[in-house]
A and B are shown apart, each in its own frame.
Chain A
Amino acid sequence: MKYILMMNTMRAEQGVPNWPRADLQAHIAFMKKLGQDLRESGELVLAEGLSFPDRARLVRAGKDGAPVTDGVFPESKEFLAGFWIVDVETAERAYAIAARASAAPGPGGAPLNMPIEVRPVMSAPPQEMM
């Protein structure tokens, strides 16, 4: 079964670029190792990191069909920072991978324990969208 593991953050929490360089390097090395392990086990389907929320736009269709864009979000909005899609045998395995990602080191090497949202992706081929 395929699961998506989503790392969500508030805008205020996205102070990652301000971490000391060594801490940032340790964090990235941890994430690289996680990706490498998942590739080797054959469980990694896809992993993507997103640009920062200041570049996010909300788009709605205008009356004339032209897109109407908006870059103003409530302070409480959660932004997707990145995600993994994994193909695993059980939900528990997806949770274990999420827990590992959650424990990625932050400033001073302390685990971030950030929440990772885990959801099955539609298990059948996404025919309804193809």
Chain B
Amino acid sequence: MKYILMMSGTKAGVDGYHAWAARDIEAHMAVLRSITKELTESGEFVATQPLAGPVEARVVRGERNGLPVTDGIFPESKEFLLGYWMVDVATPERAYAIAGRISAAPGPGGIPTNMPIEVRRLASPTGGRQ
């Protein structure tokens, strides 16, 4: 079964991350890299993708006069997707365990961020609805 593990945060949270010491960012990324490496080795890895920052986000609604209507204004409280992992695992518990490890990745001073990771099953076992 395929699951998506989503890391989300507010604009303020993203600004906070960019203010981390370089060493702390490096340690954080090293743990995420090692998780990806292990998932690749176990055959559970499907895909991962970081997203550009919320400042580049636009909301698009249907066309007016043949042109898309775009908007870049969001409430402060909006949670933006920061990045995701897709994994192919035998049980939901295994997906939760992987999400728990991502959540435990170190933050400033090496203390686990304990960021909440949203876990959802993809709608069909083969992936896309297309």
Chain A residues engaging chain B, CB cutoff 8 angstroms: 4-6, 28, 31-32, 34-36, 39, 44, 46-51, 53, 55-62, 65-70, 76-78, 80, 82, 85, 91, 95-96, 98-100, 102-103, 111-123, 126, 128-130
Q: Give, as a whole number of angstroms, the nearest-CB distance from A119 to chain B.
A: 5
Interface of B is mostly: strand
Q: Give, as a whole number of angstroms, the nearest-CB distance from A106 to chain B.
A: 11
A61 and B52 within 8 A (CB) = no
Q: Give, as a whole number of angstroms, the nearest-CB distance from A108 to chain B.
A: 16
- A48 with B36: in contact, given A60-B115, A60-B117, A80-B120 (CB under 8 Å)? no
Residue of A with least CB distance to B117: A59
A117 and B57 within 8 A (CB) = yes
Q: Which of B54-83 contact A (CB under 8 A)?
A: 54, 56-63, 67-70, 77-81, 83
B120 and A61 within 8 A (CB) = no
Interchain CA distance A23-B118 in the complex, whole Å: 30
Residues of A within 8 A of B103 (CB): 59-61, 67
